[in-house]
Structure 1
Amino acid sequence: MNTNNNSSNNCYNFDLNSLIRDNIFNVDPYLSARTEHYQEKNSIFLDANENSFGPPLSFLNSYHRYPDPLHKKLKKKISELKNISSSKIFLGNGSDEIIDLIYRIFSRPEIDHAIIFPPTYGMYEVSGRIHGVDVIKVPLLIENKYQLNLGKIEKIVNIYSKIIFICSPNNPTGNDIKRKDIEDITKKFSGIVVLDEAYIDFSNQESLSIEIDKYPNLIIIQTLSKSWGLAGLRIGIAIASKEIIQWMNKIKHPYNISFLSQEIAIKALENKDLFFYHLKNILSERKYMEKTLKKIPIIQKVYPSSTNFLLVKINFSSKNLYQYLMEKKIFVRDRSKIILCNNCLRITIGTHEENEYLINQIKKYSIQKIKM
């Protein structure tokens, strides 16, 4: 990372245009029929080859029209919720589309590389491999409670380092990455820093999105899938400078979020009281689960969590417990094959009834193991 601060915007030698791939510069974006006139009311739309008679569903009268390609109403709701200008918000078909677009815009296949910090979200690596971009791994420091290895990162970064992915709170470990470390990397790195805050609503740490103007090379990813309970809609959120958002809008698929998904998301975002009620229950159940699981003999460790899940280390083979729980129709995630997660299960916080059933089954399994 370059340590010469020549930038007035508090970011070291950051030049957005120098990071954009040449072929992206030359792309003429697809202009959908509704890009300019989606909000027009009382109009006759004969521009997009839609079926003007509508679908064969008497209770659905608007789904024969293509959705707003720029998601203006939904962005306005998110803008009000997060106190961030709509011009700094991009909406994708899940966070995975956003990750894919970031690779497409900034990383040259077979030339550039991205840097990730395992154990972390798997799509950073999968998407990079798909695009022919080398993905360099700098493991978190388990002895430092799954924090970044700043010294090694400093040595790894070179002129071909285009993207750094940081997940905080991290998946699957559940912990917050130190805010100062994230900010230091973002200030010193001349490429793109992607901060994945998918679980930020479950954390006591404040989102860095409120300071997005300080970091022109920062892209923050959030989602409506986790705390907002809308995983089935597939709506990911990117928060970045207007310039970066413009590039993402330029190369995204024209209608990447359906009319129905936008409509339901808007209604959900208007129901903040129920959102906070569910969030409070999840945090309460997380505390209960952490306390209760620690008392079970086969549980070696329950890692601190700022998310809606717990990473749990088992004294015996996690695979055996995983299979036992499957037989009881309980599905958790076996993370034992991931670096630094040996014999670990990732357990999502469920309803109180679901959590009680899980705990009772683990207790029964623990008793069986102890008797053997």
Structure 2
Amino acid sequence: MSFDLNNLLRENIKNLVPYSSARDEFKGEASVYLDANENSYGSPLPEPYNRYPDPLQALVKEKLSKIKGVPPRNIFVGNGSDEAIDILFRAFCRPGTDNVIIVPPTYGMYEVSANINDVRLKRVKLTEDYQLDLEGIAEAIDPNTRLIFICSPNNPTGNSINREDIETVIANFDGIVVIDEAYINYSRQKTFIRELTEYANLVVIQTLSKAWGLAGLRVGMAFASEEIIEVFNKVKPPYNMNDASQRLASKALDNIEQVNHWIREAVTAREKVARELTAFPFVLKVYPSDANFILVKTTDAKEIYQHLVKSGIIVRDRSKIALCEGSLRITIGTPAENEQLIKALATFNNG
């Protein structure tokens, strides 16, 4: 397929002159800053937060570049991965005209962003084993299809999508394919970041909220061609990531050994919890997972959920989602939390 970014960009985005902030116009170090109308006296906190943050998060990107193996120019850093998702809709989808494809069951923000931006949503359900319906996707594509979202490892099912199937979609679509890899650190599958040089229409989304343990900081990333990243930077707010998040994320990125240790611990615990769950008579199936959670099909998800709530344990009831009927999504906790879960489930009696 022939991919041309200009054919996808909305006309108003092509002609957009982005806001030029004080920190865009002067780059470097100075002794006196009187250009941004900041409070020159400081801030009422131990840390000096009176100055605007780096609008392009240079230090965070530099550290991400070393970890991910891609140049900073191919990285967008935003207020959670949800910001990257929203920008994709605003930059490439004409409200009331264009459409995007999602493959449910999947992450719910794709649908929310589509509705907010008045973009038609086409749903092509995954197969019974939670893989892509390639024929269905091909049939759903029309001249106004701009984006295809694929979450791998998938939320809420936990499995990775077959790599060859994803490559088939990317190679045969002249719009943008978005691979959401929020849980990639827990997966046996390699990241698609390595394929950016091969596919100009590929965007890979990741986050520091999961394996990196920084959900409270709201740090998400998008990896793509330099052309697409330039679009992201053009559309985003001038200071889209606050200074506290940048500083703390930068420090966290120096602790990769700690994070890798936690990942190994979580994967080992995931397999242990999965084995223990299969022993309960009310558990019909424990689905294979490449994430830090497990999807569990049960005889009565609602009753089991309420039973766990009474024990002070909160899981996610996914039983109302198509292809997840009767299922609970259970995050892998600490060894003590996992033990509490299993003990609580052992006292459940659904007669």
* TM-score clears 0.5: yes
**2:39 equivalent in structure 1:** 51
**2:346 equivalent in structure 1:** 363
Take 2:311 and 2:304, find their aligned partners in 1: how far apart are those partners? Answer: 11
Matches within 5 A, 1:154-303: 154-303=138-287
**1:101 equivalent in structure 2:** 87
**1:323 equivalent in structure 2:** 306
Take 2:256 and 2:174, find their aligned partners in 1: how far apart are those partners? Answer: 38
Take 2:338 and 2:230, find their aligned partners in 1: how far apart are those partners? Answer: 44
Take 1:303 and 1:188, find their aligned partners in 2: how far apart are those partners? Answer: 30
**2:76 equivalent in structure 1:** 90
Take 1:252 and 1:153, find their aligned partners in 2: how far apart are those partners? Answer: 30
Residue 128 of structure 1 pairs with residue 128 of structure 2: no
Deviations 1:247-279 (A, max 9, x none): 000010111111110111111110111111111
Q: Secondary structure at the match of 1:90?
A: strand
Q: Secondary structure at the match of 1:35?
A: helix
Shift of 1:165: 0.3
The correspondence for 1:334, drawn from 314, 317, 341, is 317
Q: Secondary structure at the match of 2:22?
A: coil
Take 2:219 and 2:25, find their aligned partners in 1: how far apart are those partners? Answer: 22
Deviations 1:279-325 (A, max 9, x none): 1110111011011111111111100000000000112x201111111
Take 1:63 and 1:270, find their aligned partners in 2: how far apart are those partners? Answer: 22
- Unaligned 5+ residue runs, structure 1? 1-11
1:31 is matched by which residue type in structure 2? S
Take 1:99 and 1:169, find their aligned partners in 2: how far apart are those partners? Answer: 17
Shift of 1:37: 3.1
TM-score, reference length from structure 2: 0.99
Q: How many correspondences in the alignment?
A: 351
Deviates more, 1:24-33 or 1:109-118: 24-33
Shift of 1:228: 0.4
Shift of 1:329: 1.2
Shift of 1:42: 4.1
Superposition CA RMSD, Å: 0.9
Q: Secondary structure at the match of 2:312?
A: coil
Take 2:172 and 2:24, find their aligned partners in 1: how far apart are those partners? Answer: 37
The correspondence for 1:35, drawn from 15, 24, 41, is 24
Deviations 1:131-188 (A, max 9, x none): 000000000001xx10000111111111011100000000000001000111111011
1:44 is matched by which residue type in structure 2? V
Take 2:24 and 2:60, find their aligned partners in 1: how far apart are those partners? Answer: 15
- Unaligned 5+ residue runs, structure 2? none
**1:150 equivalent in structure 2:** 134
Take 1:13 and 1:273, find their aligned partners in 2: how far apart are those partners? Answer: 42
The correspondence for 1:118, drawn from 94, 104, 107, is 104
